């Protein structure tokens, strides 16, 4: 397809407005023309060389429900979705708006693949396959999972903006403090729901590498309201760790944050056995802890950590399951006291 023809396809009529409905299933948002790769694409578009544009570009992949042959140069695409090539498409669009595409480049071709498939599982496999060829975080490949769509919709009703797609809110006037990515929410879940603060601290991606691990973190047994509560709890933990009371105990928020969250979640649940800390309990009992609870959990944590002046040694302790188990047992014993 000629670059000029691609522009006509992705724009609304004769306007210079991009048809954003073509990109709803893409796992990323536009990164902007200033990023190195996109800047290189723009530079190629604005410079005539003997090297054809399509030689230097991976092209665009479009999934459709149905494709119908019209004529030698015309095809009818039903429900087209650009699942790979969003960056290229947006750079071409912006470069055209800025009138920097040369006449020669506009006539050059771009590789466009059109895949006709209605089966949702096969469509998702195409999205994952095409995006695995580029630097897309493995976590982002879950962006179109039904659970992620539900989380995004629900959290926005609670004032949170869930960035299930990378750069999703880059061009929107949204407070950065209210944006959370899939990985950031996963860390909070791993710490407060799975009670694995050391994993949330150092290895959160490990829990999301497999389908089983992903489903365990984003369990359908957990109500949507819990996600909002966990994010609110983490905000309070972050605020607390900057207070004089917290700094008197420890000035190490990177290590403390998820362990304090784990301890606080377990404390407000009131359970006396780890086996009783179920989705049912979380759905009904989790709430934002008081400053007094956070301070007590923080003190108990550092009583277990002891004196570790060496940073590497302290980091090693916080990355271990041993400290996790000690804290969990300590909080459970605290809950068991009359």
What is the pLDDT tens value at each position of the chain, 338 positions in all?
899 899 988 898 777 788 888 887 666 677 777 777 788 899 999 999 888 898 888 889 898 888 887 776 778 888 888 888 888 998 999 999 999 999 999 999 999 989 888 787 777 777 666 665 444 456 766 777 889 999 999 999 999 999 887 777 877 788 889 999 999 999 999 999 999 999 999 989 888 888 888 999 999 999 999 999 999 999 999 999 999 999 999 999 999 999 999 999 999 999 999 999 999 999 999 999 999 999 999 999 999 998 877 888 889 999 999 999 999 999 999 999 98
Euclidean distance between CA atoms 157 and 153, whole angstroms: 7
Euclidean distance between CA atoms 168 and 28, whole angstroms: 7
Q: Is the dihedral of CA 111, 116, 120, 122 positive or negative?
A: negative
Q: Is the dihedral of CA 117, 123, 129, 135 positive or negative?
A: positive
SS3 state of residue 103 = helix
pTM: 0.64
pLDDT for 134 equals: 46
pLDDT for 67 equals: 86
Nearest by Cα to 264 from 284, 292, 222? 292
| Contacts with 23 (C-beta within 8 Å, 6 or more apart), sequence order | 81, 82, 86, 89
Domain boundaries, given as residue ranges, for the chain:
3-136, 148-336
Which tokens go with 289?
């802890």
pLDDT for 133 equals: 46
pLDDT for 186 equals: 95
């Amino acid at each position: 397809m000629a670059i000029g023809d691609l522009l006509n396809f992705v724009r609304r009529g004769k306007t210079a407005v991009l048809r954003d409905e073509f990109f709803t299933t893409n796992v990323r948002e536009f990164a902007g023309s200033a990023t190195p790769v996109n800047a290189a694409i723009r530079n190629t578009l604005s410079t005539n060389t003997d090297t054809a544009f399509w030689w230097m570009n991976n092209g665009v992949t479009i999934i459709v429900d149905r494709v119908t042959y019209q004529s030698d140069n015309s095809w009818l695409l039903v429900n087209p979705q650009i699942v790979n090539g969003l960056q290229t498409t947006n750079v071409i669009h912006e470069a055209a708006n800025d009138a920097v595409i040369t006449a020669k480049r506009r006539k050059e071709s771009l590789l466009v693949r059109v895949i006709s498939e209605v089966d949702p599982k096969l469509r998702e496999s195409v999205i994952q396959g095409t995006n695995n060829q580029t630097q897309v975080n493995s976590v982002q490949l879950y962006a179109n999972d039904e659970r992620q769509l539900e989380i995004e919709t629900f959290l926005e009703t609670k004032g949170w903006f869930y960035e299930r797609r990378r750069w999703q809110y880059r061009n929107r006037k949204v407070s950065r403090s209210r944006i959370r990515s899939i990985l950031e929410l996963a860390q909070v879940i791993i710490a407060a729901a799975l009670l694995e603060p050391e994993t949330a601290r150092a290895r959160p991606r490990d829990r999301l590498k497999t389908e089983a691990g992903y489903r365990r973190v984003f369990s359908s047994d957990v109500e949507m309201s819990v996600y909002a509560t966990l994010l609110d709890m983490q905000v309070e933990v972050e605020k607390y760790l900057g207070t004089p009371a917290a700094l008197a105990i420890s000035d190490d928020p990177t290590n403390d944050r998820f362990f304090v969250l784990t301890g606080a979640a377990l404390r407000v649940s009131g359970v006396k056995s780890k086996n009783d800390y179920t989705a049912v309990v979380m759905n009904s009992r989790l709430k934002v802890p008081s400053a007094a609870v956070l301070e007590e959990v923080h003190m108990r944590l550092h009583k277990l950590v002891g004196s570790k002046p060496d940073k590497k040694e302290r980091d090693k302790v916080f990355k271990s399951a041993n400290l996790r188990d000690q804290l969990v047992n300590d909080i459970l014993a605290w809950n068991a006291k009359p």
